């Protein structure tokens, strides 16, 4: 039993069990889209599918990412002790765990709509491609943003059986948010990434990192506010927008010195920004 507990602890570390901020960043915009698509509470079935499915796919993505980056991760302070990098979990083991998690997520999607199922294949393909984008693409965070945003059209497809233009507009806005917070994340490892030759938005932008991050936050909030003005109506939603803007200003104070700890803290706190907007959307429907 002790051996199984040790193995389970390694698997939980592999999927970042103790660091939920990663999957919450995917969850809140997806749930926001789900509420808008349904015009309010979407029902327990779809809520369960998207909450659990988001967690499972993010966990599977961690397995894939750690396998792909194992040789790079050993040279980065933040990632040097990951289970695959240290050899505590083998490559085949990590891939097997990731495959099981992805299969479970796909089983959940099968209970929704054919269009959502089709989009899930695209999401899986982009998830598999993302770790390798860092080798060739100057702004790999844009690839991640697309992968993180596909839960939005999937939510509309699951509820309505179609993907309206609104879903793609929300995905575009969400892409800017991912660019903002994942550039903050990349700023943490910039020195190490320069040494090993990884491409990131933090390296590509150089001294323009802070203004571009701020601009991306602004575009995200503006697009979502304007797109949802006719849907999430009322003062509650506008208060949520105001609180989100306040959080952006706070994040700027954390990253303006470009210090590792401040940038990492700003990244980790982004899920509260997502929760704020989702809460504003959900509350605006609940109070009608």
pLDDT of residue 237: 93
CA 244/CA 258 separation, integer angstroms = 22
Domain count, the chain: 1
d(CA 29, CA 123): 15
Report yes or no: 266 and 215 within 8 Å, Cβ to Cβ: no
Look at residue 129 in the predicted model and tell me its pLDDT.
86
Long-range contact list for 199-206, CB < 8 A, 24+ apart?
A: 199/134, 199/135, 199/136, 199/137, 199/138, 199/140, 200/134, 200/140, 200/141, 201/138, 201/139, 201/140, 201/141, 201/142, 204/138, 204/139
Other C-beta atoms within 10 Å of 150: how many? 24
Burial class (CB in 10 A: 0-12, 13-18, 19+), 260: middle
Structure tokens at 154: 């999937």
Q: Where are the alpha helices (DSSP H) in 18-113?
A: 21-38, 44-68, 70-73, 83-86, 91-109
d(CA 118, CA 83): 33
Give the gyration radius of the chain's Cα atoms.
Answer: 19
Q: Give the CATH number for residue 98.
A: 1.10.357.140
Range of the domain at 39: 2-286
Query: pTM to 2 decimals?
Result: 0.93
Report which of 131, 70, 128 is spatially closest to residue 99, judged by C-alpha positions: 128
CA–CA distance, 92 with 89 (Å, rounded to integer): 8
Q: pLDDT tens across 13-60, in order?
A: 999 988 888 899 999 999 999 999 999 999 999 999 999 999 999 999
Residues of the chain with pLDDT under 50: none
pLDDT at 1: 65
Give the model's pLDDT for residue 231.
Answer: 84
Contact 57, 123 (CB under 8 A): yes
Residue pair 176/219 in contact (Cβ under 8 Å)? The answer is yes
- Cα separation, 274 vs 269, in Å, equals 9
> What pLDDT was estimated at residue 153?
97
């Amino acid at each position: 039993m002790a051996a199984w507990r040790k193995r389970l602890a390694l698997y939980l570390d592999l999927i970042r069990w103790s660091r939920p901020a990663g999957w919450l960043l995917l969850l809140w915009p997806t749930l926001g889209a789900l509420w808008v698509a349904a015009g309010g509470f979407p029902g327990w079935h779809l809520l369960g599918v998207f909450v659990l499915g988001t967690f499972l796919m993010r966990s599977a993505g961690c397995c894939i990412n750690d396998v792909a980056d194992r040789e790079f991760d050993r040279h980065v302070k933040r990632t040097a002790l990951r289970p695959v990098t240290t050899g505590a979990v083998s490559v085949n083991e990590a891939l097997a765990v990731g495959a099981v998690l992805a299969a479970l997520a796909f089983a959940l999607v099968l209970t929704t709509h054919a269009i959502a199922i089709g989009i899930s294949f695209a999401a899986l393909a982009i998830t598999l491609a993302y770790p390798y984008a860092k080798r060739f693409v100057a702004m790999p965070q844009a690839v991640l943003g697309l992968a993180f945003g596909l839960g939005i059209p999937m939510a509309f497809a699951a509820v309505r059986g179609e993907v309206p233009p609104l879903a793609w507009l929300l995905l575009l806005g969400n892409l800017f948010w991912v660019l903002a917070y994942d550039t903050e994340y990349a700023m943490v490892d910039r020195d190490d990434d320069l040494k090993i030759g990884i491409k990131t938005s933090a390296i590509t932008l150089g001294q323009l990192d802070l203004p571009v991050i701020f601009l991306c936050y602004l575009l995200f909030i503006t697009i979502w506010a304007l797109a949802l003005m006719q849907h999430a109506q009322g003062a509650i939603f506008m208060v949520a927008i105001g609180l989100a803007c306040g959080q952006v200003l706070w994040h700027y104070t954390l990253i303006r010195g470009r210090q590792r700890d401040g940038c990492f803290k700003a990244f980790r706190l982004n899920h509260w920004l997502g929760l704020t907007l989702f809460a504003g959307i959900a509350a605006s429907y609940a109070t009608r």
